[in-house]
Amino acid sequence: MRTVITYGTFDILHIGHINLLRRAKALGGRLVVGLSSDEFNLGKHKSSLLNYENRKAVLESIRYVDEVFPEMNWDQKIDDVRRFGADVFVMGHDWEGKFDFLSEYCEVVYLPRTADISTTEIKNSLKA
């Protein structure tokens, strides 16, 4: 069984997130998700409507997700790949090339984003 690893904030869950998780899971038998901690989001100057514990509970309820762990910083990915025995690292295609350094440790796959939906768009429409 192959282990797939991915990362994200997963705030305001939408069909784009579900599609990414479903397609990531299909690349292996086990999907582990690094969920950006509240502290990490602050360091990225990013805010979430829901705190880490709420976002984690939602992710854990999705049938494609086998395990959720905190993403505390950018530099933990090599250690996470090793710790979880990840065979595949998955991110959306807008990150293409940014994580190619992980190809020394596992297969790196950039999946296409779902068209016409994004958390940023949803947040912007809520402000309007």
- Positions marked catalytic: 44, 46
Amino acid at 101: F
**How much of the chain is helix, strand and coil, in % rounded to 5?**
45, 20, 35
Q: 15 with 114: CB under 8 angstroms?
A: yes
